[in-house]
Structure 1
Amino acid sequence: MYYRYFEWDDRYADQQGKIPFDVLWDLFQQLLTISSGEVSQALRWLTELDKEYDITGQFEDGYSMGDFIDDLRDRGYIEMDDQSNSMVITRKTERSLRQKSLKEIFRHLNKGGTGSHKTNFSGKGLERQPEVRKWIQGDDLSQIDSVGTMLNMLNHSSIDNMELNEDDLQVYDTDHYTSQATVLLIDLSHSMILYGEDRITPAKKVAMALSELIMNNYAKDSLDIVAFGNEAWQITVEDLPYLKVGPYHTNTKQALELARHILQRKKYANKQIFMITDGKPSAMFENGRLYKNSFGLDRKIINKVLDEAVKCRRDKISITTFMIAQDPYLQSFVREMTEANKGRAYFASLDNLGGYIFEDYIENRRKHVK
């Protein structure tokens, strides 16, 4: 581990205190998420914004779009892909997109909404409580209350005979931290971009932010991500920026089934599924063929989804559905599925989707103690 320091140059500071690169970099990351990681498309949009709003014209030193692209290469954010002969983003950029999404979502959370990410139970943990108790075999000796222990010893000792007994030992209690396995389901059906509303970009941002939160703050937790349309497939954290909506129907049954199978292999006491969707289940596999029906709620498909929700409940897997649609008949289906699983449902807007998911995730970590 080492640091490289560069001389600060005041010429690169704009009125908000950001250097020109940082101003363009913030915009570029937003556009990258919308363009599903396509560098050329994001740069075209950024160039159009620059022409319309004269962004680079605000910089005193004449910093241009060409300078920005050069800096992106020099700083390791983009590179040339030999196979496609086009510019692509790097792992460094993927990580930056997750970090940006995390900051963006936490910035909009209500104060106090996320707490301190701990349970309401005492036990073996990381954060010391002010309360003390008698030492029992197996307690961490580093949590011994030395002052209280010495006072206990002095109460029964004399100047000539100082004797420490086991009953004198007392330790601080610590907050108990639990671990959790989560599968996040992301709907990639065509309805996620219908009616002139971009629903997939907020969903991707939430997934990137949640993965960054877990990897950095809850190392013992696990997060798996499943995308679903006509079928369901598992993806990695690195795939998130590149997700695209397809000409898909909504195979909710297979998505829940795959998530359940993933969680069955996890050695965790606490298991949950988060599902982000805006549409009704409209497809499933039947005898190896895709059965689909986009008109209304097909009872055959709905019943199979409800069966899967019941199987998850029997495996002690809770399902939390984040429904980003306001149609009453769809909300009725979500309530029916929630009742079958004994889970939870939120009818969230795109603006508060991240807040709902983060607060629910952290609340589950507090209360799920075995």
Structure 2
Amino acid sequence: MMFALLPLLPFFTVLGSVCLTTAVSNGNCFDTVLPISITANNVELKLSAPRNQQELTDIWTRATSLTSNVTAEIIGGPVTNKATYKIWTQLCVPSKPDAAKTVEFAVHGVGFDHTYWNFGGPGSKYNYVEAALKAGHAILIYDRLGTGQSDKPDGISKLQFPTELEIASELVKYLRAKPRGNQFNQVVGIGHSYGSVTLLSLVGKYGNVLDAAILTGFTAGGGLGLTAFAAVGWTIAAQQNPKRFGSLPTSYMTTEGISNSQSFFFRYGNYETAVLQAAEATKATATLGELFTGAANPALNYTNPVFIVTGDKDYPFCGGNCYQKINGANLVDASKVVFPAVPESKFSTFIPAETGHGNNLHLSAPEAYGEIQGWIAQL
């Protein structure tokens, strides 16, 4: 069932990077560019960078057809990707840590960079980083490979899901190795969408490397996302916004416009227009390589707590209705199937009302943050 090792001291030495310290409410944040060395099991993709928008549109028209076999056609054999990438990170440490000395490891999804987690900046009700700090938790946010201030390698052969997975694995090791002298006793992963799939794959491959996992914007019914991906209107990023993305190759894509972003991420009536506009103005890219290789198997050997938080109107993961049933359970509760070794007592869900895929950008965000922080407090 699919849904869509290095010596520590040299690895954690930050060479040639700039560290910026910023005081924030309830703590301090440290911006650092980390050189992350990985060996990943990528695959050969029998796909060339599109020569124009018509070719890209055709790729996605075929890929989102109900009887599509594009993935089977283009995925070839294994290819090792051994490389070092510069990854922008921000570690925020609370003024008053909780007793467990918890650090949250936050992985954003497609269409965003790290700003998904501190959206709106200081004092914003959408700022998840501030919610974590207020609860006494440190939190690491970062720009996934290909986004924000992190490296942007070839979007087909290099920037693939297995590479993203290994980068996440190394960042968890970083948090276990007293970054900036901070001893963390509990590492809690929190992901959104593609970031949630990354965490599922992380614990699927490496077991209990996280003390707990929170998956937002996620269900195991990923096949329902075909219509949502068709609605994205994937556009060559360099053509859609030459000022921001003009230097990127044509394998880097973004949504066509604000209406597409609304359809994919938002539930009309439960967001502020200014938030939709800000999300559109700051949107990030995705690549053909990461989307065509972004699948995960069940986490057979992971036994630690899991909390899934997905809006009831999530379009890509629920087809717009997360309360539809699979074997008598709604799609969110039914996602227990990908965590077969997690006891029922350690598996929880929360479904924010009238909320689309971009949980953090809805008026329901403070309620969801409260549920998440309350759940972590009970670990």
Q: Same fold (TM over 0.5)?
A: no
| TM-score, structure 1 as length reference | 0.31
Q: Name which structure has the greater RCO, CA cutoff 8 Å, separation 6+.
A: 2
